[in-house]
Structure 1
């Protein structure tokens, strides 16, 4: 398994393979998303953070996931349209993935042990779990779905200045 975030890749919502190498020197927030979740409203503050800091080298990467309560049933086109129409999402979205289990996306197999959850657990508990990565590709922290994106502003600003 790759040891660096920048060695990872993922398939975007349009079916293109994207190397995380392109986010070198960026502060990255990775979020597993869902369109029919109680936390779906977080798309709006996530987009706000992206707009606020993207010129300074910040990016949000959204990874739709249907593993929790079947809250992301649509295909990639449906997901993309939903996010754009309802929340004005312009940050990069990726193809629907699994975040847990044998079929978990390689990126999540890398992220989970790098920033463990409550009581040292690795599995993702629900949609809108967030991972914060610094400009050097170090996975710094995992945030629970209940952590509001706007509560990450101070940390993001600090990392952008490093």
Structure 2
């Protein structure tokens, strides 16, 4: 009974405390704050609209930094096959063209669209060109780097898998082909979650 009374007095004291005293309270630690999810981010679309990840809440999302003049550019075809195979079950794929590695995405929106749409027949959403590394990285990529510092993009066609809950579930290097069994299992696991 004594602890309950002490607790009630403490709560009453906080309620009666001046706002300035409460404003001087130490900031919450990162562990105390709710974590940001991927749903907090949006990309400018290649077409000019926005791609808000929150629009895909409850669906797994594969975010891939792409480039038109890379040895991995043929992965566009494999990503399109993944999209065709799993989009009706909820998978979303978002390509994020970037010129950060080897200057292999030097063109503008029309050149990117020509490669992705005309050569590889990509129909999944494409973002406008964005940075994926360093100080100039898009906020999504800065968040992903903070979440998984050992799994940051080191080249084009790095893949991040976001789970149905908006959390970063897995990362796959550029060398992991879209048909790789490990990637397929990760996607199917999230589709079944």
Could you say whether these structures have the same fold, taking a TM-score greater than 0.5 normalized by the shorter chain as the test?
Answer: yes
Write the distance in 1 (CA, Å) between the matches of 2:146 and 2:172.
14
Write the distance in 2 (CA, Å) between the matches of 1:17 and 1:156.
24
> Where does residue 186 of structure 2 map in the other structure?
155
Q: Are 1:128 and 2:157 matched, yes or no? A: yes
Write the distance in 2 (CA, Å) between the matches of 1:49 and 1:21.
21
User: 1:142 deviation in Å?
Assistant: 1.2
> Where does residue 144 of structure 1 map in the other structure?
173
- What SS is found at the alignment partner of 1:149? coil
Write the distance in 2 (CA, Å) between the matches of 1:18 and 1:92.
8
TM-score, scaled relative to structure 2: 0.78
Equivalent residue for 2:91, pick from 48, 58, 61: 58
Equivalent residue for 1:47, pick from 80, 83, 107: 80
User: 1:78 deviation in Å?
Assistant: 1.4
User: 1:148 deviation in Å?
Assistant: 1.1
Residues 116 and 142, structure 1, Cα contact 8 Å, conserved in 2: no
**Which of 1 and 2 has greater Rg?**
2
> Where does residue 116 of structure 1 map in the other structure?
149
Residues 80-119 of structure 1 aligned to structure 2 (within 5 Å): 80-117=113-150
- Listed one character per residue, the Cα deviations across residues 63-104 of structure 1 (whole Å, up to 9, x for unaligned) are 000111110011012101211111110000000011112211
- What SS is found at the alignment partner of 1:96? coil
Write the distance in 1 (CA, Å) between the matches of 2:127 and 2:111.
13
Q: What is the count of residue pairs matched by the alignment?
A: 157
RMSD: 1.3
Residues 130 and 145, structure 1, Cα contact 8 Å, conserved in 2: yes
TM-score, scaled relative to structure 1: 0.92
Residues 170 and 186, structure 2, Cα contact 8 Å, conserved in 1: no
Write the distance in 1 (CA, Å) between the matches of 2:85 and 2:65.
21
Write the distance in 1 (CA, Å) between the matches of 2:116 and 2:42.
22
User: 1:141 deviation in Å?
Assistant: 1.3
Residues 117 and 142, structure 1, Cα contact 8 Å, conserved in 2: no
Moved more, 63-72 or 152-161: 152-161
Residues 28 and 133, structure 1, Cα contact 8 Å, conserved in 2: yes
Higher relative contact order (CA 8 A, sep 6+): 1
Residues 26-45 of structure 1 aligned to structure 2 (within 5 Å): 26-45=59-78
